[in-house]
Amino acid sequence: MGVVLAMVPSHIPVLVREVIQFLKCRPGGIYLDCTLGEGGHTEEILKASEPNGRVIGLDRDRQSIEQTRRRLVVFGDRVSLHHENFIRLDAVLEQEHIQTVDGILFDLGLSSAQLEDGQRGFSFLKDGPLDMRMDITKGPTASDWVNHLDEAKLTMVFREYGEERWAQRISRMIIQERAKTRITTTSQLAELILKVVPRRYHHQKIHPATRVFQALRIVVNDELSALRLGMEAAVGGLKPGGRLCVISFHSLEDRIVKHSFREWERQEQLKVITKRPVVPSVEERSLNPRCRSAKLRVAERN
């Protein structure tokens, strides 16, 4: 009989203790992890809801699903995984023959595996194809967007989704460069941005390419529209007293979550539990610097 080696996860789940606390995980509970990733939150929810709590995990990234399936195999039929966009969470619940659940989690950050795999194109620190699709089986890549949008639309994308100060300059440079050769790699785009952004801004807290890469990732994956639709579906999928937890990583996401929660509270569908977002502790930020911008908001179904 062969020896099964445990997969050591490289991704550290963000605000995991807080998520477990706010979801009120309990034996027999059913929970939906809408952004499975490497399974860190799902694993802790399963442990906190022993011996018979269940988690249904969704992810747009088929690679994440397959890798995480191996990690969670020890939990048997207490966990079921679906390669699906969370905007279709109601269809997943129907497939599972479940009407409502006790808690739902959205963790809107990228996983370490996605960031560290240069072939996915999410990071300007890794040279690779300019892809950025969460689901590599569908839709145009970041390279397609960069090489086909006109200057005005590129500027709008960088300004609206990246809050990029130098949006117009960067767009103009992209138009000039792609007239010579197609922009197909992360390093091509990152180097182009470094040429445009004034040198005095190169040594700030974030890399000059950060906002442009964020903007492209958002538009490639239609992230903000998906968040609105997914949260709407989540409200309908919660039991009375069930909790919705959303972890966001930039102001555009957090604004949508905050305003949606307030609107649903006015409509008496939800009660907001966190009047202010919960953020990682100093200790957690020191252990996991990638979590520094995370904000957790929680609401409960009336």
pLDDT in tens, the chain (302 residues): 333 333 334 568 999 999 999 999 999 999 999 999 999 999 999 999 999 999 999 999 999 999 999 999 999 999 999 999 999 999 999 999 999 999 999 999 988 888 889 999 999 999 999 999 999 999 999 999 999 999 999 999 999 999 999 999 999 999 999 999 999 999 999 999 999 999 888 877 789 999 999 999 999 999 999 999 999 999 999 999 999 999 999 999 999 999 999 999 999 999 999 999 999 999 999 999 889 999 999 999 99
User: Would strands 295-301 and 270-272 be described as parallel, antiparallel, or unpaired?
Assistant: antiparallel
Residue 6 buriedness (CB in 10 A; 0-12 / 13-18 / 19+): exposed
Answer yes or no: are the C-beta atoms of 257 and 230 closer than 8 Å: no
In the numeric block, which tokens belong to residue 291?
A: 């979590």
- Scan for tokens 């996915």, then name that residue: 120
pLDDT at 10: 53
Whether residues 210 and 164 fall in one domain? yes
Residue 205: per-residue pLDDT: 78
pLDDT at position 112, please?
A: 83
The total number of residues shown for the chain amounts to 302
Which residues form the domain of 90?
Answer: 16-113+223-301
Using the 3D structure, point to which of 221, 237, 267 is the last residue of a domain. Answer: 221
Taking the C-alpha atoms of residue 204 and residue 52, their distance in angstroms, rounded to an integer, is 49
Q: How many CB atoms lie within 10 A of CB 43?
A: 21
Do 148 and 239 fall within a single domain?
A: no
298 pairs with which residues across the strands?
A: 245
* Domain annotation covers residue 3: no
Q: What is the CATH number of the domain that holds 142?
A: 1.10.150.170
CB 82 within 8 A of CB 68: no
pLDDT number for residue 11: 65
Q: Are residues 20 and 99 in the same domain?
A: yes
User: Coil, strand, or helix at residue 49?
Assistant: coil
Phi and psi, residue 171, nearest 5°: -60, -45
Residues 275 and 207 in one domain: no
Residues 169 and 46 in one domain: no
Q: How far is it, in rounded angstroms, from Cα 3 to Cα 237?
A: 41
Q: Distance between CA 210 and CA 204 in Å, rounded?
A: 11
Among 221, 239, 255, identify where a domain stops: 221
Claim to verify: residue 74 and residue 123 sit in the same structural domain: no
User: Would you say residue 139 lies in a domain?
Assistant: yes
Residues 83 and 176 in one domain: no
Q: Is residue 295 in a domain?
A: yes
46 shares a domain with 57: yes
297 and 211 fall within a common domain: no
The reply to whether 185 and 230 lie within a common domain is no
Please check whether residues 84 and 159 belong to one and the same domain: no
6 in a structural domain: no
- The answer to whether residue 8 sits within a structural domain is no
CA angle at 225 for the pair 295 and 120, rounded to the nearest 5°: 75
Contact in structure between 122 and 48 (CB atoms under 8 Å): no
The tokens for 283 are 């200790």
The backbone region for 113, taken as left when phi is positive above 0, alpha when psi lies in -120 to 50, beta otherwise, is alpha
Closest CA to 288 of 113, 117, 112, 125: 112
Q: Domain for residue 7, yes or no? A: no
CA angle (166, 291, 49) in 5-degree steps: 140
Q: At a CB cut-off of 8 Å and minimum separation 6, what does 1 contact?
A: none
CA distance linking residue 3 with residue 46, whole number of Å? 24
Distance of alpha carbon 23 from alpha carbon 241, whole angstroms = 10
Domain with 87 in it: what CATH number?
3.40.50.150
